[in-house]
Structure 1
Amino acid sequence: MPLLRARALCKTYGTVQAVRGVNFRLDENSYVTLLGPSGCGKTSILRMIGGFEEVSSGLLELDGAKLNDVAASARPVNTVFQSYALFPHLSVLENVGFGLRYKGVGRAAIREKARAALETVQMGAMADRRPRQLSGGQQQRVALARAIVNEPRLLLLDEPLSALDRRMRKDMQIELKDLQRRLKMTFLHVTHDQEEAFALSDRIVVMRDGIIEQQGAPDAIYRRPETAYVADFIGGAACVPGRIASQAAEGYRIETALGQFAAPGVAGLRPGAEAVLCLRPEQLRIDPEGPIAARVTHVVYRGAEWLVELEAAGVALALTTAHDAIPEIGADLRLGFDPAQVWIARAETGEAAQ
């Protein structure tokens, strides 16, 4: 049995359908991320699980029991908010122990539990400070300690790293995943940042316009996107439109403006179906004998590599290279790729893939 299950979950605000019948599960001791752009419905799902929003229709189950009508205060669920929501007039220790006071926990036990939670997030030495005396990363750790001190079954994290600078975000990603492993707790994390989702997650749920486009392990979503939207949103693949010409030993043959190619792809495509050939920058290479004729439009230095943007038969492509001989803008090139490494995805939405 999963820890939490959502069945046909919907949320409407007036005439707006923010969440449209999604289905997913959270397993014990897992780190799951709801990933998508602003307005896709991911925060509405988090708030329904936390009890801050009512479920319009559908079912939420926690440990096999219906969660829909359980008050937020009675749910074994805690939330770490984007703003941290620390009380400025209380010390770090008092902030962490604040929620325990309303559960009838004695003062000595509160101090013991709060100190243990602070030690867990490496903030024990700052127990007597006020939030204004802490950096953003330190405040984030205090917010985490306040959430885990109640020993919830499920921890919800609402864009918890968005207020931090890039270096601090990377440091906190490592700490969050390490904390989840040590506590053996289930974390549900909301973000629009795909790099953050890949760094943290055992499982990713990609959302768009209130539906789930795809869900699965990070590697599967990156290497085998089911739709053009996922391929573009995850890793910025060039999605070359085409139609399935036939089945092939490799998977399918797809006819595109760049030519006809055989490659593996998502199951269920039929001859004549619209599809896209997904070409990621690291999969393309400059090859004098390659099948694609292209012209360089931009060259961007990115430190460890160069990004070369190209146009081929009206299609925008890109490749990465660390080679010293960087092509000039306007140069005509031939491009190749390993057909076994690219992917054919559906052109339409992934709503049916839930």
Structure 2
Amino acid sequence: MHWCESEGFQNFWAITRHADIIEVSTQPELFSNEADGIVVLSDEQVADQQNGRSVIGDMRTIISMDPPDHRLYRKIASGFFTPRGISRLDQIVHDSAKALLDSLGDEGECDFVDLIAQRHPLRVLATILGIDRDDEERLLVLTQQLLAGDDPDYRRKAGSRYEASQEVGMEFYAMFDRIIKDRRANPTQDLASMLAHAHLPTGEPLGEIETFGYYLIVFVAGHDTTRNALSGALEAFLAYPDQLQRLREHPDLAKDAVEEVVRWATPVNYMKRTVMADAAVAGQPVKEGDFLMLLYASGNRDETVFDNPHDFDIGRHPNRHLGFGWAEHYCLGAHLARASTQALIQQLAERVIEIEAAGPVVRTVSNLIVGAKHLPVRYKLRPAA
């Protein structure tokens, strides 16, 4: 553990070891998501909170709730995201991965993030959430503006960060509200219908803001994390081409390969927790009101847990990585993320003849979401089987 004081940001304890991250994650009553959110804030963001909250700032989502509310709200969609529930989407994720590689042609150059990594989860999530294809491009831009608002390529032009957040929130709300109203009038079997008609386990209907929040977090969190896992997968295969060949020769390793991709890429850099009472973590005293930063990428390279942690090994087993979080806030959509990632890396293993970097990787400017925004590659592909 290390106490960090960075000018312009909240002070925090850096929690870097696998065991310590688990220790904090398994005590949600003592280390809170809800008290001050999940992100280490800049001075500008703190000022925005004091001056007024945006549509998104006023919203409660399962990722920012503590027990007992978190457990009640999580149950609303947990049935949809079980392995059995996700198996109904196998054809959708396979067709999406295949169509995207088909669109590249037999050989050429492309930006893998632009044409593949961000398109694949976008199509899958749009399908289960009832989003029209005509809205996908706009939704992609809004997601980038929300999660990577510090990146000059994605930042929304507005008078202030607060105004930008307010505008993004209203556009999201308008789009999702239209879908929710349609599903209430014309229910189907998708997740959008489930959320539109949702009731808490206590029997009361899900409120309007909570419904919007659920919809938003499923899409935004599900899209960017999977996008960055997929770009991380290709980066890893470019650095370790023997592992792509290994997957081609041993397709039974696909599930283990997905876990190693998530460990290696760790798309979510960290989550913040607020200490609710004086306590200790790994023997280090922490005070009520202190912030803890759970650094997942560091935990995923803890040499006391992983042999050769800086190597990319698709056969790594066991693989107790923290890429989906841990305990109370373990990723609700983990099974969908696994299915989407597996479908695409299997397509790469089956169809790539040659692939190499065609330029430098450019990373998203964000302290929360880790991944490439540009990954140029040169490739030769064989047709789908």
TM-score of the two chains, using structure 2 as the length reference: 0.22
Query: Between Structure 1 and Structure 2, which shows a larger proportion of strand residues?
Result: 1
Higher Cα Rg, which structure: 1
TM-score of the two chains, using structure 1 as the length reference: 0.24
Kindly indicate whether structure 1 or structure 2 has the higher relative contact order, using CA contacts under 8 Å at least 6 residues apart: 2
Query: Between Structure 1 and Structure 2, which shows a larger proportion of helix residues?
Result: 2
